[in-house]
Amino acid sequence: MNRLMSLTHDITLGATEERPKGHQVKLAIMYDKHATPVEMMFVGRGKIGEGMDDMLKELGIKCSRALQGRDPETGG
């Protein structure tokens, strides 16, 4: 089984003075054996099936398609 190397980055969204911690998510970027990024996904997106979760899931899919040289909208 070939596993992709990955790096995970912590990201804060929506931080304000009233809520300095904002919403914490992690961005995982997977690389092929040549260290080329080929896939990405967000972890800790929020409640499953709610707005932020759905948007970040879709964003991860579309970005992964673009990294692979595919059309982000259709996957073709």
pLDDT per position as a tens digit, 11-32:
888 888 988 888 888 999 999 9
Select the more confidently predicted residue: 64 or 46: 64
Q: Where are the beta strands (DSSP E) in the chain?
A: 5-13, 23-31, 37-43
User: pLDDT (tens digit, 9 = 90+) per residue, 39-53?
Assistant: 999 888 777 777 778
Q: What is the number of H-type helices and E-type strands within the chain?
A: 1, 3
CB 37 within 8 A of CB 31: yes
pTM here? 0.74
Write the CA distances from 49 to 42, 54, 55, integer angstroms: 14, 6, 10
